[in-house]
Homo-oligomer: A and B are copies of this chain.
Amino acid sequence: MTRPNSPGRRSRDAAAATSGPAYVTRSIPYYAMLDEDALAQIEAQAFRLLQETGIEFRDDADATRRWREAGAQVDGTRVRMAPELVRGLLACAPSEFTQVARNPARSVRIGGRHQVFAPVYGPPFVRDLEGGRRYGSLEDFQRLVKLTHQLAPLHHSGFVTCEPCDVPVSKRHLDMLFAHMTLTDKPHLGAITEKSRAQDSIAMARLLHGDDVFDRHCVIMGNVNSNSPLLVDKVVTEAAAVYCAAGQGLIAVPFILSGAMGPVTTAAAIAQALAEAMAIGAFTQLVRRGAPFVLGNFLSSMNLRSGAPTFGMPEPLMSNVVIGQLARRLNLPLRCGGALTSSKVPDFQAAAESADSMLSTVLGGANFILHAAGWLESGLATGYEKLVLDADRLGAYEVVLRGMSVDDDSLGVHAYGDVEPGGHFLGSAHTMAHYKTAFYEPRLSDSNSVEQWEEQGSKDAARRAFDRWNELLARYEPPPLDPAKREALEDYVARRKAALPDAWH
């Protein structure tokens, strides 16, 4: 397997090319916001919740049975687990692993010092500058998968880039899986909303990758949420049973709106999120020791007047950094963050909130960053312009993650031979030797003079982004796929669609 991620490599037009590094490996330190004592206190509170309050595992007798057999204290649906049991199980999960893509050059490494960026997950609506806001359709979904394929800073195709609302809920996952498997060769996630849909995801992944690769590698993952506070329903445990039993990965993410699904104070919300994610992580290891597991975290603050969630605010910014510290203590891969905002449109608010949210994730060291591009309106809408604008900034974060070179050459020790005080470095030997790789080149930032900018139509960033995603779609080309595999996938989808009723909820 190729991992084209040598430290010296840098995409010159990161957001432009389909090709780019498959993922990023950081050479900069993590930002450590809390000291060890504070981290230990948060961890102790998380373990206290697991042991004293316990976690509800509802509607899945198989799940409570597994816990009982493992030695947890099970009273009906309430599972109380000792710290050593949880720690022991989590220690079985790999600290990092590879999710193999159908194009091996696009396989991603999840955990350790690696970061993987994936687009927004879940919005029922889409928005673009000319089409406005509307329910997502299968056509939207396919276009968003194509764009994700074309945007190099997105390493991973995610899954529900928008809901294709024109397809029955019962069949939707089949079209979505087919799109990810055929329109891109980047890795992607699978369905989890029902056990049979998880099974379809696994079956189709097996067809795409072949038994040999499927049985030896993680090729697909499910992303599940706990029902905070402290409740895990059968969607989660069944997804774990399907994905992990097949040796595939699970990402478990408590989504906590502090003050509603968790305590209103940030440290307490982090502790609860940690407890819930650890409980699910431990459960994945009950299903299969060594199954790839990603500890997730999604904390949001709240508008106190309306109760609406808010994003990109200082409290979740800090939690992104702290949860990174906590995940490293557990030696587990981490999912958190994203380019989050409550703005309805790709305006100043959207960018400011997204930037602070993303940069904290980058400095904090999250390994898998879902929602890294395209998120609008508190996650209710996928923005076409937002997708390409965010990707442009992700390219900049890649440069930050690779860090700064400090040696005699990059220090310019010999740069002053042909430049005198008061002179200039334009065209100097040192400049000529370095200028091509010195700076990140954003696609969508305009640094022209105001006169040039006006001449070109006084387009703001959103308007330039509209032009850009339309251009990208116009030149989209699907990556090659073995016709036999394509046919097998088509057959599977047709067969399953014929067997399933149309259901709209």
Contacts and interface: CB of A to CB of B under 8 A. Distances in A.
A412 B229 contact: no
Contacts of A445: 310, 312, 342-343, 349, 353
Nearest to A464: B349
A207 interface: no
B438 A265 contact: yes
Interface in A406-441: 406-407, 409-413, 415-416, 419, 421-426, 428, 430-431, 434-436, 438-441
Contact of A440 (B133, B313, B426): B313
Contacts of A261: 424-425
A54 interface: yes
A56 interface: yes
A494 interface: no
A265 B409 CA distance: 9
A441 B259 contact: no
A209 interface: no
B41 A421 contact: no
Nearest to A400: B314
B359 A355 contact: yes
A411 B267 contact: yes
B304 A436 contact: yes
Given A301-B439, A309-B447, A424-B260, A397 B344 contact: no
A201 to B, nearest CB: 27
A204 interface: no
Contacts of A356: 355, 359, 393, 396
A350 interface: yes
A272 B33 CA distance: 31
A238 interface: no
Contact of A317 (B263, B303, B400, B442): B400
A349 B352 contact: no
A264 B348 CA distance: 30
A344 B310 contact: no
A411 B348 contact: no
A355 B54 CA distance: 40
Nearest to A409: B265
A38 B227 CA distance: 47
Given A265-B410, A318-B404, A303 B348 contact: no
A272 B412 contact: yes
A42 interface: yes
Contacts of A444: 349
Interface stretch (A24-32, A112-120, A166-174, A475-483): A24-32
Contacts of A405: 265-267
A399 interface: yes
A441 B363 CA distance: 24
B415 A304 contact: no
A446 interface: yes
A367 interface: no
A440 B56 CA distance: 32
A6 interface: no
A400 B431 contact: no
A439 B347 contact: no
Nearest to A31: B31
A210 interface: no
A21 to B, nearest CB: 15
A403 interface: yes
Interface stretch (A182-190, A217-225, A240-248, A448-456): A448-456
A19 interface: no
Interface centre among A42, A259, A311, A426 (most CB of B within 10 A): A259
Nearest to A39: B406
A258 B424 CA distance: 10
A412 B355 contact: no
A322 interface: yes
A45 interface: yes
Contacts of A227: 422
24 contacts: A42-B406, A56-B421, A230-B421, A230-B422, A259-B435, A260-B426, A265-B434, A265-B438, A266-B404, A268-B411, A271-B411, A306-B447, A313-B442, A314-B399, A315-B439, A315-B440, A318-B403, A319-B404, A342-B446, A347-B347, A348-B389, A349-B460, A352-B393, A377-B450
Given A347-B462, A349-B460, 6 more contacts: A265-B410, A265-B434, A268-B411, A271-B411, A313-B396, A315-B440
The 3 closest A-B pairs by CB, nearest first: A268-B412, A351-B351, A355-B355
